[in-house]
Each structure stands twice: as C-alpha cells, then as structure tokens.
Amino acid sequence: MSTLIDSTLEMRCVRYRRELHLPAKIDFDSRRILLQIGAHYGAVTMPGDLGERVQARLREAAIAGPVVDHPRARRWTFLTGPCRPDSLTATASAELFRLYATVACAGSQIVLPSP
C-alpha cells in the first residue's frame, strides 16, 4: 500500500474509503482506523521479512493485492478475499503458527495505518 500522508484521522479514513474503496471506520475510543473482516475481506498478518518474500512471490504471479505495513510491530498484513475458518487444515494452521503468521476471519478487525 502506498504511503498515505494526511493530517487527521478523519482525512485518512475518508481516503481509505474513496481512493482504496475500503469500508474503513474510525474507532474514536482508541483513535484507530479499523477494517471489519468478514463477508468481503480476510487478512493474513506475518513478520515483515516473511511479508517481503510473500509479496515478491505474489508479484511474480501477478496477484499482488493491498498490503498494510505495521512498522513499529515489524509486521505486514495482506488483505485477501473472505476467509472460511473451515478452509484451514491442521497442517496449514501449524505451519502458519510456526511462521508467526495469523489469519483473520469473520468477526475480527484489523487496524489500518493512521496519521
């Protein structure tokens, strides 16, 4: 995802909605911008070094999508299509756990970068 430079939380959220077509919402208590995971979006979060390798492979396959960088946490979140919890096998879940990667499915939210 390209770097967004906005002066307020509200301006950033509007930009996510208008330019990136993400149904972002502001949580005023935490002062964060959130994206609801569910019917339209899923997400996979992983360490940044793994994220760089995954992004390179996706680009080679011409299937790159939105990626959210969390610099302080050194993690990347790849936005995906909707997730079905029953689609992850025990083997896949164990491998993701070993790689410190998590899959967000319906009912969860991810934090989008804020100013």
Domain ranges of the chain: 9-112
Neighbours of 83 (CB within 10 A): 19
Gap between the Cα atoms of 81 and 103, Å rounded: 12
The pLDDT tens digits of the residues spanning 5-41 come to 567 999 999 999 999 899 999 999 999 999 999 888 8
Q: Where residue 1 falls among pLDDT bands split at 50, 70, 90?
A: very low
Q: Give the pTM.
A: 0.81
The pLDDT tens digits of the residues spanning 53-101 come to 999 999 999 887 889 898 889 999 999 888 776 777 888 889 999 999 9
Q: What φ, ψ does residue 108 adopt, rounded to 5°?
A: -100, 170
Q: Are residues 115 and 9 in contact, defined by beta-carbon separation less than 8 angstroms?
A: yes
**Stretch 46-57: mean pLDDT, rounded?**
95
Structure token digits, residue 85: 């919890």
